[in-house]
Amino acid sequence: MESVNRYINQNSTRFVAQLKDWLRIPSISTDSRYKAEVARAGEFIAGDLREMGFKVETVPTAGHPIVYAEWLGAAGQPTALVYGHYDVQPPDPLDQWVSGPFEPAERNGNLYARGATDDKGQLLTHVKSVEAWLKTEGRLPINVKFLIEGEEECGSTNLESFIRSNRERLRCDCVVVSDTSQFAPGLPAITYGLKGLVYFEVVLQGPKQDLHSGMFGGSVANPANNLATIIAELRDSRGRVQLPGFYDEVVPLADWERKQFAELPFDEAKFREFVGLEKLVGEEGYTTVERKWARPTCDVNGMTSGYQGEGAKTIIPARASAKISFRLVPNQDPAKIVASFREFVASRCWPGVRNEVRQFGATPAVLVSVDSPSMQAAVRAVEAGFGRKPVFIREGGSIPVVGTFKRELGVDTLLLGWGQNDDNLHSPNEKFSLADFHRGVRASACLWEELARSTMK
Amino acid sequence: MESVNRYINQNSTRFVAQLKDWLRIPSISTDSRYKAEVARAGEFIAGDLREMGFKVETVPTAGHPIVYAEWLGAAGQPTALVYGHYDVQPPDPLDQWVSGPFEPAERNGNLYARGATDDKGQLLTHVKSVEAWLKTEGRLPINVKFLIEGEEECGSTNLESFIRSNRERLRCDCVVVSDTSQFAPGLPAITYGLKGLVYFEVVLQGPKQDLHSGMFGGSVANPANNLATIIAELRDSRGRVQLPGFYDEVVPLADWERKQFAELPFDEAKFREFVGLEKLVGEEGYTTVERKWARPTCDVNGMTSGYQGEGAKTIIPARASAKISFRLVPNQDPAKIVASFREFVASRCWPGVRNEVRQFGATPAVLVSVDSPSMQAAVRAVEAGFGRKPVFIREGGSIPVVGTFKRELGVDTLLLGWGQNDDNLHSPNEKFSLADFHRGVRASACLWEELARSTMK
């Protein structure tokens, strides 16, 4: 490890220069005008891996290519699969960037550019750590595979089918993903839980056209009033969901989790200021952190009906619709909740009102054991790289691919986030701390060694 | 009356020709490009009244002019004030008109043009009836005043202040308005009740910006869910309003009203087909006609929040708003309901959520005695003109100026509608039955005589 770490220290400036070169490529996957740039960004990382000795294939898809790379020289050792993505979010609004989104600039120890943390910068830590091993020791302590897609920011349309049809090739003992955040600056974290998600659009159709609310009011069902009633009955004012059986399979928070969450330096006043609310509210019996990370929720994401312009228009709208989503926790079954929700809506439609429930995705929650050998190896690696033992955190968001790895490959994912919560991913002035970048490379280099020593396999 | 009726019969073709000339003027009051045309339409009717002996003044306002005309030669006799409007709705969508909106065309006994029934055609019946009296008898049986505005289709912005500052000049014993409909072809009607209206826009502000529903779900109040709850609690599924005290002052339907409504040839199957609903629903214990005409209602007119595009966007919206209106019946007090609604909303906002309630108008309901001498005179006049005794009907809509006349001048309004429910007012192919036009002129001519004979004053 000593020579590996020396290599990392000696090459840190070159690593940053290389990251900058990669960030200069505007690989905006959702915008078809950038198709060639997206491909170029994929080739950039494919070429680098090939150069250091990986066997690399750039696999065309109906959308952007998938880069697959493997180094399988550690016979008898376990295998890790690193997942990441080389595409980026669009940079709009451009006028809010202090420096150009594709002109990487260093300020106050941060590197500013679109993709700096999400995900080029974070992913590159693993590429540079394997380079350090291969250039110094000529080998890796374990077998390492890379699965790098170019469609993460536009729905990962072709990823799941690729994984499904390449189960053998992708076989591994654990997945490593660095696309999340630390708990706070100086407080590294490993994310061991993600929420699941089911998302619906509910459309209620009342009269065949908007009606005069004076001439028809009181005599026909108003789909907007009906929809409001359905939404109101879905949860109580504290957020407790009223779908029958909704909480039946919920795994309660363990004592150690509640204890550790409570010890985190979570500043509720700062949080209130950030969201711009004088008071917070949520499910009774839980703290704000517990609600955010570990309790299932139901939220209206959007609502539309009738007249939305200025002033008054006196109509009974013909239709009303809402986007409604549920965040799930282990072990809630998305399919059960989809069925329960459809029944809930249909049974609450007023006479004459027809309903349509469109479903957008159903992702189960993820909960990884913090006691597994691979997780304990990751803890040691993060501590080595960041100089402090990581805390275990959960996240309210969903990363669908983690569920796919579990389902298709039967393995857990180590979510080793090197970012910070204020890194402005998906916003102007995205950044990545250069210190965190270097720490990430060191932690990653250590991870291969720790996984080799562990009893993971 | 005989010579008057003879004059009417002999001049009927000319009356229609004159109506067509008036309809050719595109007096679209809401579109500033038509300002000169609106003024020309006002001058058209002002000139006609002046020519036949009325004292006419065209009063400029901040918007379109008000035409005021009076003939006060019936000393000792009562005074009627005819209210109408010379402006029209925009004709869009143009491609759905069979003949041009401002090229009046006769088809199947109807005259098609924008304004044919609303309100040029209906108003002209009263102008032609006073012409018939003046040209044959040289006098009117009573004093008649005309108040004709050019802003009815764009909010009557300057009408109320005009009435308030001209109380003396406008003094009268009753108001006559022909801007409504008969119950059905061959079934003339007098509208003796109108609903009132209070209209609100409720805006709930949650977090200061849209938040990621995964990272923040469960920890902050969602204003869209909160709004849905407020709307849901406003009324039950049958439409019974839950505002405290809402029904306290409601005047129950009289036995004669329920009996007469029940006898009307209202075809519920046809109604269902028209609105496109397989089932109707409304307040328990009332028929569809009773609900439409005589029961107070609460309807969402529009609703907007968060993401409304295609697919899924997982946000907690920063704000949610809804247009919500109540149709009122006698003797509900709009001011009381406004206060009650504001309190209802404010008391149901979740922690952190701020609310704003914007109010657009507050019009009380109108109920005119059907036994008054003027109403009985109108019944006889309509029967003379249409050959059948009119039925008494109410309407779910509101005509705010009727409340203004009651409040400012202390008089009731006779709503003598010559139109039909399928006249397409505010829609393409607006029409007016020429037979109804002629019957309206005859009924109006008779009305002046009947009012003179009555003990109205």
What tens-digit pLDDT sequence spans chain B (457 residues)? 899 999 999 999 999 999 999 999 999 999 999 999 999 999 999 999 999 999 999 999 999 999 999 999 999 999 999 999 999 999 988 999 999 999 999 999 999 999 999 999 999 999 999 999 999 999 999 999 999 999 999 889 999 999 999 999 999 999 999 999 999 999 999 999 999 999 999 999 999 999 999 999 999 999 999 999 999 999 998 999 999 999 999 999 999 999 999 999 999 999 999 999 999 999 999 999 999 999 999 999 999 999 998 888 889 999 999 999 999 999 999 999 999 999 999 999 999 999 999 999 889 999 999 999 999 999 999 999 999 999 999 999 989 899 999 999 999 999 999 999 889 988 899 999 999 999 999 999 999 999 999 987 6
Q: How many angstroms away from the CA of B346 is the closest CA of chain A?
A: 14
- Host H or E run for residue A449: helix A434-453
Q: Token pair for residue A149?
A: 């897609």
- pLDDT value at residue A313: 86
pLDDT tens profile A140-170? 999 999 999 999 998 899 999 999 999 999 9
- pLDDT value at residue B312: 85
- pLDDT value at residue A146: 98
Q: How many angstroms away from the CA of B37 is the closest CA of chain A?
A: 26
Enumerate the residues of chain A whose CB falls inside 8 A of the CB of residue B208. 275-277
Among B217, B280, B351, whose Cβ lies nearest the Cβ of A297? B217
- pLDDT value at residue A430: 95
CB contact under 8 A, B352 and A291: no
Enumerate the residues of chain B whose CB falls inside 8 A of the CB of residue A291. 218-219
- pLDDT value at residue A446: 98
The 3-state DSSP class for residue A202 equals: strand
Residues of chain A with pLDDT > 70, as a percent, come to 100
Q: How far is CA B234 from CA A197, B227, B300, in A?
A: 31, 11, 10
Among A213, A280, A301, whose Cβ lies nearest the Cβ of B301? A213
Give the CA angle between residues B219, B224, B230 to the nearest 5°: 105
CB contact under 8 A, A304 and B308: yes
Chosen from B213, B278, B298 to mutate, greatest number of chain A CBs within 10 A: B213
pLDDT tens profile B386-417? 999 999 999 999 898 999 999 999 999 999 99
Residue that is written with structure tokens 């109101």 in the block: A232
CB contact under 8 A, A277 and B311: no
Would you kindly state where each structural domain of chain B is located, as residue ranges?
2-194+365-453, 199-250+296-360
Taking CA–CA distances from A321, the nearest residue in chain B reads B308
For A196-250+296-363, CATH number out of 3.40.50.1820, 3.30.70.360, 3.40.50.300, 3.40.50.2000 equals 3.30.70.360
pLDDT-based confidence at residue A17 (cuts at 50, 70, 90): very high
Provide the chain B residues 206-265 that lie in CB contact (below 8 A) with chain A.
206-209, 211-222, 224-229, 231-235, 237, 239
Taking CA–CA distances from B212, the nearest residue in chain A reads A397
Give the CA angle between residues B273, A224, A233 to the nearest 5°: 125
For B199-250+296-360, CATH number out of 3.10.450.50, 3.30.420.10, 3.30.70.360, 1.10.287.110 equals 3.30.70.360
CB contact under 8 A, A229 and B231: yes
Average pLDDT score over chain A: 96
Nearest to A348 by CA among A157, A204, A449, A154: A204
Q: Are A390 and A375 in contact (CB under 8 A)?
A: no
Taking CA–CA distances from A348, the nearest residue in chain B reads B237
In CATH terms, the fold of domain A2-194+365-453 is Aminopeptidase (3.40.630)
Chosen from A153, A194, A213, A295 to mutate, greatest number of chain B CBs within 10 A: A213
What's the rounded Cα separation, in Å, for the pair A318 and B172?
43
Provide the chain B residues 260-319 that lie in CB contact (below 8 A) with chain A.
271, 275-283, 288, 291-292, 295-308, 311-317
DSSP for B176-241, please give it: EE--SB-SBTTB-EEEEEE-EEEEEEEEEE-SSS-EEHHHHTTTS--HHHHHHHHHHHHB-TT--B
- pLDDT value at residue B457: 62
Which amino acid appears at position A374 of this protein? S
Query: Is A358 in the B-facing interface, judged by CB distances under 8 Å?
Result: no
Residues of chain A with pLDDT > 90, as a percent, come to 93
- pLDDT value at residue B53: 97
pLDDT tops 90 at residue A345? yes
CB contact under 8 A, B306 and A301: yes
Chosen from B210, B253, B274, B277 to mutate, greatest number of chain A CBs within 10 A: B277
CB contact under 8 A, B352 and A300: no
Residue that is written with structure tokens 């897609």 in the block: A149
Nearest to A424 by CA among A91, A22, A51, A156: A91
pLDDT tens profile A262-279? 999 999 999 999 999 999
pTM of the entire structure?
0.90
- Host H or E run for residue A164: helix A159-164
Taking CA–CA distances from A314, the nearest residue in chain B reads B301
Among A216, A282, A297, whose Cβ lies nearest the Cβ of B275? A216
Q: Does A196-250+296-363 match A2-194+365-453 at the fold level?
A: no
CB contact under 8 A, A312 and B323: yes
- pLDDT value at residue B361: 81
Query: Is A428 in the B-facing interface, judged by CB distances under 8 Å?
Result: no
Chosen from A220, A242, A295 to mutate, greatest number of chain B CBs within 10 A: A220
Q: Token pair for residue B25?
A: 């003027």
CB contact under 8 A, A199 and B314: yes
> How many helices (DSSP H) and strands (DSSP E) are in chain A?
15, 18
Provide the chain B residues 127-186 that lie in CB contact (below 8 A) with chain A.
none
B177 bridge partner residues: B83, B415
- A-B contacts (CB, under 8 Å): 286
Q: How many angstroms away from the CA of A169 is the closest CA of chain B?
A: 32
Q: What is the DSSP letter of A34?
A: G
Q: How many angstroms away from the CA of A440 is the closest CA of chain B?
A: 24
pLDDT-based confidence at residue A457 (cuts at 50, 70, 90): low
CB contact under 8 A, A317 and B300: yes
CB contact under 8 A, A216 and B361: no
pLDDT tens profile B134-143? 999 999 999 9
